[in-house]
A and B are shown apart, each in its own frame.
Chain A
Amino acid sequence: MKITINSSISPVIASFLIALFLGGGTVLAANEKSLLTEIKEFNKPFDSLSVKQVQPVTRKTVKAREKYQGGSFQVLARKQAIERYKCSSCHKDKPVLVNQAMELTHSDIAINHGRKGNELTCIDCHHPDDRDYLEDKKGRKIDFDHSYQLCGQCHFRQKRDWLGGAHGKRVSNWAGDRVIYNCASCHNPHSPRFKKRFPATYSVPLD
């Protein structure tokens, strides 16, 4: 009787032992959930407004005209940062006839945007008639606060990432209302690449 039981169990034990020897590590690894799989299982939206003690952003913001993962968000306003806004205080329906007006008011602008030798000109972005606005390639007026609509024409990859959160960043808080930096908050639109500069400090080697 005993022998028969043993003979019926032994192939099971043997196969188990073989499995343990050959693929023990991989079997265990398969049972163990990876962090990413665990994270992906969380699909319930988190109410980030439920986080207490969040200080709201004090800087001036506007509601974006795009959606972010189904919800709306705020971007930093731009107009108050433009020194001589409103532009229409000089640029009215008549041409500006002051002597050397261009040099006196806009000589600080150096255009370094676009391929070398084929840089953008003013009216590639600025509205040719209504200087209080920008103009995209389809001829639509674009507000200075919503310049991402203009920049995204060429830099559509960056815009996609910016909407999702992989380009640019949020202002001060990870929780609470989503407020993110506008394109022109970080980039100078006339010379968008960051200037080379010295690092703030140095790092010691790893060990």
Chain B
Amino acid sequence: MISQKKDNPPTIIEDVLEKPSSRRSFLKGASIAAAAGSAVLATGCMPGGNTAASGELTLRWQEFFKKNYRIMSQEEKDETVERLERLAKIQDNIDVQIGSDPPIENVLYGYAFNITRCEGFMECVTACVKENNLDRKTNTQYIRIFEMEPGQLDPSTGDGQYFHKVPVEDKFYMGAQCFHCENAPCIKACPTKATWREPDGIVVVDYNWCIGCRYCMAACPYYGRRFNWGKGEVPKEEITTKQHYLGNRKRPMGKMEKCTFCIQRTRRGKLPACVEACPTGSRVFGNLLDPDSEIRYVLKHKKVFRMKENIGTQPKFWYFID
């Protein structure tokens, strides 16, 4: 479909690109000009001393030129978090607390899903949507649950749009989400290094560095990533205000997003929202490096398997049966 499009590059853009001017020098020039312009805007257009509006402009300006989260110092992280909190207050009039909690030492998160126990109530899905402030308009969901025929183990053969009372006899239910691979293809595919694996094993996205090219979406063999098509419409009273920079904060339009094991919760010792919401206890979450954890018990004593194990992505998400 895409290849059928005619290659018709506009020559002006080509000219600009081929000129011997570096991106850095261009931005420098542009930023000086724009800073002058914005100062005129802020002071000249709003003579009433509308501090909120000029503040917003300054904040957005500073936000635009911040670094990638991975090379920020702790002070810079604190600054950007504060800016984002103030922007949320100015733009949407809500008080959010955005964290930048670092990974906990000697922790590697792992997840197990019991396909014998899951009965397809989908309460994990709604809990996830609420916790992560997912767009209600486009019905974005990080988790999918499929009703499976016996003998099938590939979720693409399952039916996710069942509408009848569950569980049904002779069917089983299987969930799919981001598996947080140790050897994640999405990280390799990203051209801007906007997605990476944190030391505690969570694969995260820096929403401000993502350019929305969706290469990672194409690279993911598990359909774990979601594209933010809209502005992210969430009813104000339903917004989760405890947020994380790499987690459930407000995403700009046109960015990739995905399950982060609820980074804003797990880095403070809480279980992800899906685990807490599961009424059947099919979801097990814990520290893989702790020999006494529940997840290690499951790996040791249960029959476990991972999806598409042969492709060597090493997902940290196991399915198991009782």
Contact = CB atoms under 8 A, between A and B. Distances in A.
Asked if chains A and B come from one complex, the reply is yes
Interface of A: 34-36, 39, 42-46, 48, 51-55, 69-71, 157, 161, 164-170, 172-176, 181, 186, 194, 196-207
Contact of B281 (A69, A167, A196, A205): A167
A199 B176 contact: no
Given A39-B289, A46-B287, A194 B160 contact: no
B117 to A, nearest CB: 8
Given A174-B287, A207-B156, A198 B125 contact: no
Interface stretch (B40-48, B101-109, B204-212): B101-109
Given A35-B314, A200-B125, A200-B126, A51 B269 contact: yes
A11 to B, nearest CB: 33
Task: Give the top 9 A-B pairs by smallest Cβ distance, nearest first.
Answer: A165-B294, A203-B160, A54-B269, A46-B290, A175-B269, A203-B144, A164-B297, A199-B122, A196-B165
A109 to B, nearest CB: 21
B161 A202 contact: yes
Contacts of B114: 166
Contacts of B119: 194
Interface residues of B, number: 70
B163 A206 contact: no
Nearest to B105: A50
Contacts of A46: 106-107, 287, 289-293
Given A166-B297, A174-B285, A203 B122 contact: yes
A55 B242 CA distance: 14
B87 to A, nearest CB: 25
A166 B302 contact: yes
Contacts of A164: 294, 297-298, 301
Main secondary structure of the interface of B (DSSP, over half): loop
B165 A173 contact: no
5 contacts: A45-B290, A48-B269, A169-B275, A196-B167, A197-B121
Residue of A39, A168, A169, A204 ringed by the most chain B CB atoms within 10 A: A169
B61 interface: no
Interface string B148-169: 0000000110001111111100
B269 A173 contact: yes
Contact of B268 (A44, A53, A161, A167): A53
Nearest to A165: B294
Interface string B111-153: 0101001011111011001000000000101011110000000
A168 B322 CA distance: 12
A200 B271 contact: no
Contact of A165 (B145, B155, B176, B297): B297
B288 interface: yes
Nearest to A161: B322
Given A35-B314, A198-B164, A202-B122, 7 more contacts: A35-B182, A42-B291, A46-B289, A174-B270, A174-B271, A203-B141, A205-B156
Residue of A51, A166, A173, A181 ringed by the most chain B CB atoms within 10 A: A166
A106 to B, nearest CB: 26
B279 A55 contact: no
Contacts of A174: 266, 269-271, 285-287, 293
Nearest to A197: B165
A64 to B, nearest CB: 15
A204 B144 contact: yes
B279 A194 contact: yes
B284 interface: yes
A35 B316 contact: yes
B289 A199 contact: no
Nearest to A198: B165
A200 B121 contact: yes
Given A46-B107, A167-B281, A205 B160 contact: yes
Contacts of B322: 157, 161, 166-167
A207 B288 contact: no
B227 interface: no
B278 interface: yes
A45 B104 contact: no
B78 to A, nearest CB: 16
Interface in B302-322: 302, 314, 316, 320, 322
B81 to A, nearest CB: 16
B251 interface: no
B40 to A, nearest CB: 45
A169 B278 contact: yes
A45 B290 CA distance: 6
Interface string B248-279: 00000000000000000010111100011011
Contact of A201 (B101, B125, B289): B125
Contacts of A44: 291
B122 to A, nearest CB: 4
